[in-house]
Structure 1
Amino acid sequence: MGEGSGQRRKIYGLTSQIRRAAASVPANIAEGYGRESTGAYVQFLKTARGFLRELETHLLLAARLEMLEGKQAIALITDAESIGKMLHALVRTLQMKKPAVR
């Protein structure tokens, strides 16, 4: 295999990881929302935050490997950080809620 083939595999592999991590964020939010308890929802929100951090790491790596323009990486990471702050605020709000007495 030539050098070009190896580079294409690297690009495909990183692109695949970026897509998987990006898709996992809303998927975990949706799955958690569908659960019966607030505790389960919070756990899925925390998992979504983990995938968001993974996405940020992959974006940084893509920028360092010059597979993504610096301006694009900064914009995407800024968006991810904003989403992370929203998730953090939602988790805190849900954790502060008192359980309903039945």
Structure 2
Amino acid sequence: MKLSFAALLLLSVVLLSSFLRLTMAVPNHVASPPPPSPAIPSFCDPKCKARCAKAGQYRRCYDYCIICCKDCKCVPSGTYGNKSECPCYRDKLNSKGTSKCP
């Protein structure tokens, strides 16, 4: 009698532990896909290409210009300077306190 009770108790512990593992392995929710990135406004692309045409590191200049154009909705004329035409573009700073926008 004691042996069958011990065997039954051991079997129930093993079964419970396997169910516990199963419930812990199943995720509670499915991860949602990341939100789509906002589209580049159509006027930013040609203005940033012109702004960065003479830049030594074109790709970096272009990427930052697009970021600033999305936020400020404007890009100063020319390849350098003229930031007074777009105060938001002029006043945007990076973490080091220097101008973020080219």
TM-score (normalised: structure 2) = 0.25
Considering only CA atoms, is the larger Rg found in Structure 1 or Structure 2? 2
